[in-house]
Amino acid sequence: MIWAYPVRCLVGLLLLLAACNSDVPVPASVEFSAEQVRLTITRTATNPFLSRHDLRLTLVGPGGCSIEVALFPNTGYASRRNLYQAGAGLLYVVGQFDARVIDPLHCTITLAEFRTLDRYVTFLGSFDENEQERWTYFPASQRPELPFEKR
């Protein structure tokens, strides 16, 4: 009976640690080999207990192009970013609260207002959590476009 309390404390501590978010960066990537473009969104937990994450978008493109920008952070179940193909070789990364225009030919990523984005685009996929809450990329062939929830 003397060991019951320390064992319960140890089990409780292990369960608590298992439920915590890791602050290890978790990348999810998609590559378009024909265009020599690779996009990665890296998610890093900023709170051990709540769904809070910093997000970084990295573009690696032709001719040694490499650029990285911070995205609007996830402040509560808002990490998902949809990826679209727009005209003139542009890509859009659209989140619930921000949108980025990616120009791989000029190696630029710019913040854009939603109203300035072209409406005639092709959904390519999304960066999101899977059923096991792991950060990953879902191509459009694997999962359809999901609307953003209003909270």
Buried b (16+ CB within 10 A) or exposed e, 56-72: ebbbbbeeebeeebebb
pLDDT tens per residue, range 75-124: 776 789 999 999 889 999 999 989 999 999 999 999 999 999 999 999 99
- Supply the pLDDT for residue 133: 86
User: Is 97 part of a structural domain of the chain?
Assistant: yes
49 is in which domain, residue-wise?
A: 23-139
What pLDDT, in 10s, does the model give residues 3-28? 555 555 444 443 333 446 677 889 99
Alpha carbon separation from 128 to 1, 5, 119 (Å, rounded): 47, 41, 22
Domain assignment of residue 98, yes or no: yes
- Judge whether 37 lies within some domain: yes
> Could you tell me the pLDDT band of residue 73, with boundaries at 50, 70 and 90?
confident
34/70: higher pLDDT? 70
* Number of domains observed in the structure of the chain: 1
**Does residue 74 form part of some domain?**
yes
Residue 64 in any domain: the answer is yes
State yes or no: pLDDT of 136 exceeds 60: yes
Which tens digit of pLDDT belongs to each residue from 43-67? 998 887 776 789 999 999 999 999 9
- Distance separating alpha carbons of residues 107 and 72, to the nearest angstrom: 20
Q: Which residues lie below 8 Å from residue 35, measured CB to CB, with a gap of 6+?
A: 61, 62, 89, 104
Has this prediction a pTM greater than 0.85? no
In a domain, 122, yes or no: yes
Query: Phi then psi for 16, rounded to 5 degrees?
Result: -65, -45
Residue 9 covered by a domain: no
Residue 44 lies in a domain: yes
